[in-house]
Structure 1
């Protein structure tokens, strides 16, 4: 763990009605000194919205050129899904999509700017890579509520996120954008 890294724990009650996923999760996230709280919140939401067997936060996802923030491996250990957070460059998305066979992006930035920097660039199966965004006020509000130990209930229904975080209730649409 990098010097200056802050550990955060999350007890998550996940109810993703859209995908039929219901789980109780105990997660520990190491927040790298260069990582904003908004990025960490988006990384946590990406993990929950992509939750499936074999999902993990990567060891060096925030500062690694070789791994995304979140990834999914099958039972044999083969990488099957690459999940970027923030505003990744096109080469990184291309490499991840090609390596894993599928990819997704979750951003807390202006989605129009993220799309503009990726559109027209060489990205493996670009038409299959969704870019998900949230209302910026939602991300900022959630970031302001983060503590070292957190309890949250996250419900997703009809592409709407309902988040109860440390006693406060927030909501946002999950807007899906396409590169191609």
Structure 2
């Protein structure tokens, strides 16, 4: 018998002063049986970083044809494709052909660096790729906020993201920008 996803609920308040985006989101997050709290919370942070009215969680780990998050326009065209972790070259190239913007957020310290180095030159021609790497320890700190029912506040200002639940100390999420989209 296959294991089922665990459902998490998050009320997320976002104050993104860098993009002037302020909104409350009631999110339902399906955590795949093989997914860790760290990865799930990085997906939630990815949502906060790129939030819009049409951004939504996808099947991700359960379906190779879908990212962790995407935003589609009214015609169904993919505006944003967001993956968390270390996708392979084929997945990134496929996403680049299907979406206006492709964003990858990796985490995991040295393992992410080892993954990115050979991949960097192979995806150099991808013009619409943003590659971010969370600082080591961020994902583990985020995992401490994971609960089946969460009330979270996210503040983004000057390239820093703070995520808190009003009980524990907020978590500072910082990242390196390994790659930016190439202007056309």
Q: Would you call these one fold, judging by a TM-score over 0.5?
A: yes
Q: Which residue of 1 aligns with 2:114?
A: 113
5+ residue gaps, structure 1, are none
2:176 matched to which residue of 1?
175
Matching of residues 25-44 of structure 1 within 5 Å:
25-44=25-44
Alpha-carbon separation, structure 1, partners of 2:23 and 2:62: 28
Q: CA deviation at 1:20?
A: 0.6
The alpha-carbon deviation at position 175 of structure 1 amounts to: 2.3
1:72 aligns with 2:47: no
* Unpaired segments ≥5 residues, structure 2: none
Q: Give the aligned CA root-mean-square deviation in angstroms.
A: 1.9
Partner in structure 2 of residue 50 of structure 1: 50
Alignment of 1:105-144 (within 5 A): 105-110=104-109, 111-122=112-123, 125-144=125-144
Cα distance between partner residues in 2 of 1:161 and 1:101: 24
In the other structure, the counterpart of 1:81 is: 80
1:94 aligns with 2:122: no
**2:134 and 2:174 in contact (8 A); partners too:** yes
- Equivalent residues in 2 for 1:8-27, closer than 5 Å: 8-27=8-27
The whole-number CA distance in structure 2 between the counterparts of 1:128 and 1:76 is 20
- Give the total of aligned pairs: 177
CA distance in 2, matches of 1:51, 1:69: 13
Counterparts of 2:138 and 2:56, CA distance in 1? 24
Spell out structure 1 runs of 4+ moving beyond 3 A.
Answer: none
